[in-house]
Amino acid sequence: PAEERWVAMLRFHHLIDDVTSLAVISKEVEACMQGQEHHLPASVPYRNYVAQARLG
């Protein structure tokens, strides 16, 4: 029914989450809830972030 309500709580340590990553997570969750996950960009492997951090 339309009156059903879902509540979710995401809890992250401040070392792994910031305003930028929270915005990405929120956008991805919203897209999935609306059935639009196929419109999301491909995920980037963590090793790419590590390489970028090492190169500066």
Q: pLDDT tens digits for the chain (56 residues)? A: 567 888 889 898 888 888 888 998 999 999 999 999 999 999 889 999 899 999 97
Quote the tokens at residue 22: 């929270």
> Residue 42: what pLDDT?
92
Q: Which residue range is the domain that position 20 belongs to? A: 1-56
> Residue 20: what pLDDT?
87
The CA-based angle 20-14-23, given to 5 degrees, is 20
> Residue 56: what pLDDT?
79
Domain count, the chain: 1
> Residue 53: what pLDDT?
92
pTM: 0.63
